[in-house]
């Protein structure tokens, strides 16, 4: 049975049913949990008798484990990766996370201790009512997955038609989404979503993947907002960027080197798409405006990022040249913007 560990922080840590052993353990945390890193490290040391090392680098998900440097230099017995769900191993290349490495990584859930109040759900339903939504689904982030059934039951008791999510076992719980994978909640019958989670990262991805109304419940600020206008604004920006790229003849194809983000099947697909264009293959572990400008010159008309589909959306949306996801590149090269493709 999974083991629940309360370290005196606002999250309950759920360890899988495996033995935590070894003298050297590396702890990886998302940025939002790093403020509790010392408490978590001491808690794990006391519970399991291991020597923890806190990883300071930003970790954006299980596709960004950075194991190459970690195992070649520190060589820990185990990486304890807290707060993110395991990345489906069939999405990325097996080179990204070999099986002998995967066995040394422990994925630990961090469930928020904040409960959801029925009044917040009712306010979210009011927002969806304004869009005449009939079929509702619930989406949430990893730290709120234990609240799915509660929200589902509230909506059901109010006589709304709710479409259930079965998750994506063994990786995602019912209703759970990550920034680049929304399959557990995709259904053509769904008219709108109640999303449980903070910030704009996840609801924006959900909107771009569905183009459906979203009412967001943020438990950390105890607020409810209509996310639909925000998503629509980004959507219009993406269509404008795609339309600019339709005239591009010289392309830069960026190969991602982060763990879980090297996707050769996407790279090969794009090369075929560019058969009548001129292109250059580029590679980078960290793709941002600084290193993009370092390579950019008058030759390039547009860029395609083959690794994380959120980089063009969140980090490079205002770059003066089009920076596209693979799906957006397909639209630009096909000359079609009527069927938006996100995230792939």
CATH code (residue 257): 3.40.50.11860
Query: Residue 153 has what pLDDT?
Result: 96
Out of 66, 96, 112, a domain closes at 112
256 and 216 housed in the same domain: no
Within this chain, do residues 102 and 177 fall inside the same structural domain, yes or no?
A: no
Report the pLDDT value the prediction gives residue 263, as an integer from 0 to 100: 87
Identify whether residues 95 and 126 lie together within a single domain: no
| Mean pLDDT of the 5-29 span | 91
Confirm whether 140 is domain-assigned: yes
In this structure, of 65-79, 186-200, 283-297, the range with the lowest mean pLDDT score is 65-79
**CA 336/CA 182 separation, integer angstroms:** 23
Residues 85-105 have a mean pLDDT of 74
Would the pLDDT of 227 be above 80? yes
Q: What is the CATH number of the domain that holds 60?
A: 3.40.50.11840
- How far apart CA 297 and CA 248 sit, in angstroms, is 14
Helix (H, G, I), strand (E, B) or coil at 335: coil
Q: Do 21 and 99 lie in a common domain? A: yes
Which residues, 6+ apart, have CB-to-CB distance to 318 below 8 Å? Answer: none
- Crossing angle of helices 228-245 and 201-210, in 10° steps, is 60
Look at residue 96 and tell me whether its pLDDT is greater than 70. no
pLDDT tens, residue by residue, 313-329: 999 999 999 999 999 99
Task: Give the end of a domain, one of 59, 88, 112.
Answer: 112
Query: Whole-angstrom Cα distance, residue 92 to residue 262?
Result: 6
Of the candidates 284, 141, 256, 259, the one whose C-alpha atom is nearest the C-alpha of residue 204 is 141
Burial 261-270 (b: 16+ CB within 10 A, else e): bbbeebbebb
116 in Cβ contact with 219 (< 8 Å): yes
Res. 160: pLDDT tops 70: yes
Cβ-based neighbour number of residue 334 at 10 Å = 12
Q: Span 105-133, mean pLDDT?
A: 97
Asked, for residue 235, whether it belongs to a domain, the answer is no
* Whether residue 107 sits in one domain with residue 143: no
pLDDT tens per residue, range 162-178? 999 988 888 899 999 99
pLDDT at residue 62 above 70?
yes
Q: 260 with 309: CB under 8 angstroms?
A: no
Directed axis angle between helix 326-334 and helix 228-245, to 10°?
A: 50
Give backbone dihedrals phi and psi of 31, rounded to 5 degrees, phi first: -55, -35
Weakest-pLDDT range from 12-26, 207-221, 223-237, 283-297: 12-26
pLDDT of residue 18: 81
Band (pLDDT 50/70/90 cuts) for residue 102 is: confident
* pLDDT score at 192: 97
Instruction: Please answer whether residues 142 and 178 qualify as being in contact, where contact means their C-beta atoms are separated by less than 8 angstroms.
Output: yes
Cβ–Cβ < 8 Å for 328, 241: yes
Looking at the fold, whether 222 and 123 belong to one and the same domain comes out as yes
Domain final residue, candidates 226, 260, 279: 226
69 contact partners, CB below 8 Å, separation of at least 6: none
Residues 157 and 59 in one domain: no
Rounded Cα distance between 100 and 148, Å, is 34
From residue 258, alpha-carbon distances to 75, 261, 291 in Å are 18, 5, 15
Determine, yes or no, domain membership for 340: no
Q: Residues 187, 214: one domain?
A: yes
Q: How far apart are CA 216 and CA 200, in angstroms?
A: 9
Would 257 be classed as within a structural domain? Answer: yes
Residue 152 near residue 163, CB atoms below 8 Å: no
- pLDDT tens digits along 185-222: 999 999 999 999 999 999 999 999 999 999 999 999 99
Using the predicted structure, report yes or no on whether residue 299 has a pLDDT greater than 70.
yes
| Domain membership flag for residue 342 | no
Is 233 domain-assigned?
Answer: no
Model confidence at 97, in pLDDT bands (50, 70, 90)?
Answer: low
Strand partners, 251: 279, 302
pLDDT at 159: 85
List, in sequence order, every residue forming a beta bridge with 111; answer none if it has no partner. Answer: 12
Same domain, 16 and 97: yes
Q: How many domains does the chain have?
A: 3
Calculate mean pLDDT across residues 180-184: 90
User: Residue 19: exposed, middle, or buried by beta-carbon count in 10 A (0-12, 13-18, 19+)?
Assistant: exposed
Burial class (CB within 10 angstroms; exposed 0-12, middle 13-18, buried 19+) of 259? buried
Domain boundaries, position 265: 246-334
Query: Residue 167: which CATH number?
Result: 3.40.50.11850
Indicate whether 92 pLDDT > 70.
no
Question: Is 16 within a domain?
Answer: yes
Instruction: List alpha helices for 220-279, DSSP H.
Output: 228-245, 264-273
* Mean of per-residue pLDDT scores for the chain: 93
Q: What is the pLDDT of residue 211?
A: 97
User: What pLDDT does residue 20 have?
Assistant: 81
Give me the count of residues in the chain: 344
271 vs 152: CA distance, rounded Å: 44
Assigned domain for 190 exists: yes
């Amino acid at each position: 049975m999974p083991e629940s560990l309360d370290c005196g922080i606002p999250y309950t840590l759920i360890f899988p049913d495996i033995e935590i052993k070894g003298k050297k353990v590396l702890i990886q945390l998302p940025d939002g949990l790093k403020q509790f890193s010392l408490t978590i490290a001491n808690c794990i040391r006391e519970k399991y008798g291991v020597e923890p090392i806190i990883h300071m680098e930003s970790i954006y998900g299980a596709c960004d484990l950075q194991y190459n440097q970690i195992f070649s230099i520190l060589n820990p017995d185990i990486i304890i990766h807290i707060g993110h769900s395991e990345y489906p191993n069939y999405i990325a290349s097996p080179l990204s996370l070999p099986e002998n490495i995967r066995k040394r990584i422990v994925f630990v859930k961090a469930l928020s201790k904040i409960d959801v109040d029925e009044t917040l759900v009712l306010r979210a339903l009011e927002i969806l009512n304004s869009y005449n939504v009939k079929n509702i689904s619930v989406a949430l982030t990893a730290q709120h997955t234990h609240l799915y059934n509660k929200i589902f039951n509230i909506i059901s008791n109010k006589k709304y038609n709710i479409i259930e999510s079965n998750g994506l076992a063994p990786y995602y719980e019912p209703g759970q989404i990550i920034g680049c994978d929304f399959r557990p909640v995709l259904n053509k019958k769904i008219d709108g979503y109640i999303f449980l989670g903070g910030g704009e990262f996840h609801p924006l991805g959900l909107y771009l993947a569905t183009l459906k109304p979203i009412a967001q419940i943020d438990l950390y600020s105890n607020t409810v907002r209509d996310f639909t206008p925000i998503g629509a604004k980004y959507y219009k920006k993406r269509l404008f960027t795609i339309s600019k790229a339709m005239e591009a003849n010289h392309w830069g194809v960026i190969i991602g080197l982060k763990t879980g983000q090297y996707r050769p099947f996407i790279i090969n697909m794009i090369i075929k798409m560019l058969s009548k264009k001129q292109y250059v293959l580029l590679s980078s572990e960290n793709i941002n405006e600084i290193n993009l400008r370092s390579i950019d010159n008058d030759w390039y008309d547009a860029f395609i990022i083959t690794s994380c589909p959120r980089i063009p959306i969140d980090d490079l949306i205002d770059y003066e040249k089009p920076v596209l996801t693979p799906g957006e590149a397909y639209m630009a090269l096909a000359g079609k913007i009527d069927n938006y493709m996100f995230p792939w």
